[in-house]
Chains A and B, each alone.
Chain A
Amino acid sequence: MKNRPPRWVIAMAAVPAIVLGAPLFALLWRLPWSDLGGALTSDAAKSALGLSLITSVSATALCVLFGLPLAWMLSTGTGVTTRVVRALCLLPIVLPPVVGGVALLLAFGRRGVVGQWLADLGIQLSFSTAGVILAQFFVALPFFVLSVEAALRQMDIEFAEVAHVHGASPTRVFTSVTVPSIAPAIAAGAVLAWARALGEFGATVTFAGSLEGRTQTLPLAVFNLLESDPADAVVLSAVLVVLAVAVLVALRDRWFGVLRSEVQR
């Protein structure tokens, strides 16, 4: 019996495919191809693109650096602390981004709970590029941690046991055995986090503000352009989409290739 889904399933699946595909199609269809050069090379566009890339990659790097230990902790813990920390981790996904921005201001703004101490040291995170990175880190971290924690829980502990018997310390087991085994999940989590960071708007504009070259990332630039030059806004939007799709396509085989061979064991 062939494993083809029944017609009603295909029909229903077509609905979200259209809802997701139509805007993408429309964006590329309505692209003002003749204006492309001018729109992409304008100072605002170049600085927004550069800033977006720098901040999103930095935020992603932070997500990986701090997310790995966090995911490790969450995957091995069972107590109340673990559950509380996990809920905290997932909070940014549930919070509307602007609310996240407000919360960040209350915590790290000049008069914020933590921010006021930073202000005494002469550090102001709001209105700074570092603030953009912080806002992106805040919204992107849950995506990374979720992906990695799931993979860690799925991992067979016997791998770690063998390494332990052979004399590896817990840290050594983690770096030499565990992390390489879940590399596809780490990559997937990092890409998801990066995409989320790249597209972040609400928390960024609320916490870090909007200034060309310092805090005006691509989404903020697009928002700004909508008021003055919608055609340029479409061009920049297309850049964002093309970037995202290119990375997803490039990495897709890497993840699925290794996953498939794991299953064949």
Chain B
Amino acid sequence: MTGTRVTASVEFVRSDLCLQFDVPDVPFVALTGPNGAGKTSALRCLAGLEEAAHVTWSDGEPKSRGYLPQRVMLYPAMSLADNIASSMRFAGLDKASISERTAELLDLVDIAALARRRPHEVSGGQRQRAGLARAIAATPALLLLDEPFSAIDVDSRARVRARIIEHIAESGARCVMATHDPNDLAAADAVSILLP
């Protein structure tokens, strides 16, 4: 399991939920547990989206974050390429780097041919790939992924997973992934189980 070292400690109380867990200090943490246990809420707390949550960071708050929610939420008025570029634009990167990296990422998740399409024009799996690319685009210090491969067809899942994990390793980011998929759990450095 894990050592005593912890990246973050989360406490979040709501009318229907009582969450208390520690994020182990390893690069890739998988969060699992039955539905309703609070996996999504846990990620939202780490993303800073829950005002009522108490989050204690061992090394200070992460300087940047990447986020892929369960519903993906690609911006409907932008093309897939622009969606991927958005996180870089918000991070303040320069135009040249952005367009170079966008092309790289489109290839990484195998949707280069769909670059100019809008989210409503592509399949769920393709949207999720774009969402993944968007989340990792600005090489954030903390990557939060909520069931990130669920819509991708089973055959391609392994390839995409491998590429993402490689990227995490290269960038030195921390990743917390909420998932049901045993393959994801197997690839993680540590697994946290949330119980309701």
Q: A residues bordering B, Cβ < 8 Å?
A: 156, 158-159, 161-168, 172, 176-177, 180-181, 183, 261-262, 264-265
User: Which one of B28-36, B60-68, B156-164 contacts A?
Assistant: B60-68
Q: Which residue of the partner chain, among A166, A167, A183, contacts B77 with CB atoms under 8 Å?
A: A183
Interface string of B31-53 (1 = CB under 8 A from A): 00000000000000001110000
Contact A167 B64 (CB under 8 A): yes
State A155–B139 Cα separation when bound (angstroms): 28
State A80–B91 Cα separation when bound (angstroms): 36
Contact B73 A158 (CB under 8 A): yes
Note all chain A residues with C-beta closer than 8 A to B180: none
Contact B119 A166 (CB under 8 A): no
Q: Which residue of the partner chain, among B47, B86, B118, B134, contacts A176 with CB atoms under 8 Å?
A: B86
Q: Is the C-beta of B78 less than 8 angstroms from some C-beta in chain A?
A: yes
State A181–B86 Cα separation when bound (angstroms): 14
Q: Is the C-beta of B12 less than 8 angstroms from some C-beta in chain A?
A: no
Q: Which 9 residue pairs across A and B have the least CB separation, nearest first?
A: A180-B77, A168-B90, A165-B67, A166-B87, A167-B90, A261-B120, A166-B90, A165-B47, A265-B120
Main secondary structure of the interface of A (DSSP, over half): helix
Contact A159 B75 (CB under 8 A): yes
Contact A181 B73 (CB under 8 A): no
State A168–B64 Cα separation when bound (angstroms): 11
State A162–B134 Cα separation when bound (angstroms): 10
Note all chain B residues with C-beta closer than 8 A to A177: 75, 86
**B65, B73, B77: residue with the most chain A Cβ atoms closer than 10 Å:** B77
Contact A166 B48 (CB under 8 A): no
Note all chain B residues with C-beta closer than 8 A to A180: 75, 77-78
Contact A166 B49 (CB under 8 A): no
Q: B residues bordering A, Cβ < 8 Å?
A: 47-49, 64-67, 69, 71, 73, 75-78, 86-87, 89-92, 118-121, 134, 138, 140, 144
State A8–B82 Cα separation when bound (angstroms): 50
Q: What are 26 sample pairs from A and B whose C-beta atoms fall under 8 A apart?
A: A158-B69, A158-B71, A159-B76, A161-B69, A161-B73, A165-B47, A165-B48, A165-B144, A166-B86, A166-B87, A166-B134, A167-B64, A167-B65, A167-B90, A167-B91, A167-B92, A167-B138, A168-B90, A172-B90, A176-B75, A180-B78, A183-B77, A261-B120, A264-B120, A265-B76, A265-B119
Task: Known A176-B86, A262-B76; judge A166-B67 contact (CB<8 A).
Answer: yes
Note all chain B residues with C-beta closer than 8 A to A166: 65-67, 86-87, 90-91, 134, 138, 140
State A177–B77 Cα separation when bound (angstroms): 8
State A156–B48 Cα separation when bound (angstroms): 18
Contact A181 B76 (CB under 8 A): yes
Contact A176 B67 (CB under 8 A): no
Chain B residue with the shortest CB-CB distance to A160: B73
**New A-B contacts (14) at CB < 8 Å, excluding given A261-B120, A262-B76:** A158-B69, A161-B49, A163-B75, A163-B90, A166-B67, A166-B91, A166-B134, A167-B90, A176-B89, A177-B86, A181-B76, A183-B77, A262-B120, A265-B119
Chain B residue with the shortest CB-CB distance to A162: B73
- Closest approach, in angstroms, between the C-beta of A29 and any C-beta of chain B? 43
Note all chain A residues with C-beta closer than 8 A to B69: 158, 161-162
State A191–B64 Cα separation when bound (angstroms): 41
State A162–B119 Cα separation when bound (angstroms): 15
- Closest approach, in angstroms, between the C-beta of B37 and any C-beta of chain A? 20
Chain B residue with the shortest CB-CB distance to A184: B77
- Closest approach, in angstroms, between the C-beta of B20 and any C-beta of chain A? 22
Note all chain A residues with C-beta closer than 8 A to B65: 165-167
**B73, B76, B140, B144: residue with the most chain A Cβ atoms closer than 10 Å:** B76
Note all chain B residues with C-beta closer than 8 A to A262: 76, 120
Note all chain A residues with C-beta closer than 8 A to B89: 176
Note all chain B residues with C-beta closer than 8 A to A176: 75, 86, 89-90
Note all chain A residues with C-beta closer than 8 A to B47: 161, 165
Note all chain B residues with C-beta closer than 8 A to A163: 75, 86, 90
State A180–B92 Cα separation when bound (angstroms): 20
